[in-house]
Amino acid sequence: MNETVEIIEIPGKWDISFRYSAGLTASKFFAELKKGERFLATKCSKCGRVYLPPRSFCERCFIKIDEWVPLGLQGTVETFTLVQDKFEGFPDPPYVVAYVTLDGADTAMPNFIEGLDLSDSKVALKKLKIGMKVKAVFKEQREGRVTDFVFKPL
């Protein structure tokens, strides 16, 4: 039997909304971000590790954390990538995503690095280096979210 079958695809779409509970620790961090002045990190009472963004427990010591320490705006690039291709649902390229450790923290946070000329990637990659100093710059309109700031070269 040599039958030609037209193969059918059934269209589908997931449309589910969520409300993610940030919890007490992240909520306190976000409330401080909204003020646009500084960062609040948490510190493990046993090993002294300073977590930013703040965590309510220390993964290494496996104990609860309740000590808060304020941190300033300057930090160091730990690693980065220069995104040059368009992915569905992501910003239009080019853009830089980096992990930055703020002075006084022991962990790095991801965010965009803005304020670099990315029109020529080769030129941009000469400036963009691990160890580069950056500062957090708060947005004018803040909503108490981790997106209330970006990093810019110092």
Residues at the interface with another protein (CB under 8 A) = 7, 9, 12, 14, 18, 20, 22-23, 26, 49, 53, 59, 78-85, 87-91, 95, 97, 99, 101, 106-112, 121, 125, 129-130, 145-147
Let me know: does 127 contact 116? Beta carbons within 8 Å: yes
CB 92, min distance to another protein, A: 11
Beta-bridge partners for 58 = 63
CB atoms within 10 A of CB 26: 17
CB 147, min distance to another protein, A: 5
Cis before 94 (ω within 30):
yes
Tell me which amino acid residue 64 is: K
CB 25, min distance to another protein, A: 10
